[in-house]
Amino acid sequence: MKEQAFVSIVHKHDNEEARAEAYRLRDWLEKKEIKATVEQMESVSSFDHEIQCPVPEHKPDWAVVLGGDGTLLGAARRIGRFGVPILGVNLGGLGFLTGIPLSRLYPSVEMMLEGKLDREPRIMLQARVIREGKEVCCFHVLNDVVVNKRTLARIIDLKVSINGTFLTTFRADGLIISTPTGSTAYNLSAGGPILYPTMETFILTPICPFTLTNRPLLVPESSTITIELGKKAEGTAILTFDGQVGFNFYYGDMVKIFKSDERIVLLKPPDYNFFEVLRTKLMWGGTPYDDKSQ
């Protein structure tokens, strides 16, 4: 007997449009004799809450996310990292990850069920915090790991090494370690470069550096990035994972960041084009036929 297909529907926190659409989609799928569940994704989660989320007992065949990129990031950590392909439907704002407009929801889901969507794997980062010789934090992210200052008016010193070789001490408001997927998020706002999302490399982008020669740096995906606070007087900083989960980072702590063994798979229609999305989302002007010489 063929096992019943299973779709997990995740919708944006506290958004009535997304909630209503999620239940309409569930009913539509169940009429096709496809099992479907609906879950609300919280906008912000504590570290303790995140690590208590177990491997799904019954792993869905697909996940459909209704919301913005923040909703998809939460779903990626919750179920996507266990190999569940994700179809992102944009009900949010900018939406680089949720590439399907709501008007194309049902045709896209039909294609998903028929296996006609392209699968686009994305690398993730893993962060491990070592405190007094013991690991106290292990976290996987799709977008970025950020070290931020806590004190309003003070910069922090961040000692950074790559594969055990000392790189520099960044004096800055913080440091972003981003995947190519996250290059269009906080990294972009901080002046970092945009990378094609399926590339396998990482970006180190200082936030408001004190030294103007500190610039964003691309490193190979095989790199291990080690960060320590440079001065005890600075007190505590905070590690932020995907902009949604925080963890205190103290003087004497060490965070090691490297490529995760886990990957996210995003589902895209065959006509999806990253450069067209980029041009539209960033409101770049011009047309392919501009010719100023005539």
What phi and psi, each to the nearest 5 degrees, are found at residue 187?
-55, -45
The rounded distance, in Å, linking the Cα atoms of 208 and 214 is 9
What phi and psi, each to the nearest 5 degrees, are found at residue 283?
55, 45
Provide the domain limits for residue 12.
6-117+269-281
Which pLDDT does position 42 carry in this prediction? 74
Compute the average pLDDT of residues 27-46: 87
- Report yes or no on 37 lying in a domain: yes
Compute the average pLDDT of residues 125-135: 96
Burial 88-109 (b: 16+ CB within 10 A, else e): bbbbbeebbbbbbeeeebeebb
3-state SS string for 188-206 = HHCCCCCCCCCCCEEEEEE
Q: Are residues 86 and 16 in the same domain?
A: yes
Compute the average pLDDT of residues 139-164: 91
Q: Are residues 47 and 102 in the same domain?
A: yes
Q: Are residues 130 and 245 in the same domain?
A: yes
Residue 183 maps to which CATH number? 2.60.200.30
- Report yes or no on 294 lying in a domain: no
What phi and psi, each to the nearest 5 degrees, are found at residue 109?
-65, -40
Q: Are residues 177 and 250 in the same domain?
A: yes
- Report yes or no on 286 lying in a domain: no
pLDDT digits (tens, 9 = 90+) for 137-146: 999 999 999 9
Strands 174-178, 165-172: pairing is unpaired
- Report yes or no on 288 lying in a domain: no
Which pLDDT does position 1 carry in this prediction? 44
Q: Are residues 95 and 199 in the same domain?
A: no
Catalytic-residue membership of 69: yes
pTM, entire model: 0.91
> What is the sign of the dihedral through the CA atoms of 114, 119, 125 and 126?
positive
pLDDT digits (tens, 9 = 90+) for 172-213: 999 999 999 999 999 999 999 999 999 999 999 999 999 888
Q: Are residues 273 and 257 in the same domain?
A: no
- Report yes or no on 292 lying in a domain: no
Residues in a beta bridge with 180: none
* Residue of 27, 48, 69, 242 with catalytic role: 69
Q: Are residues 189 and 113 in the same domain?
A: no
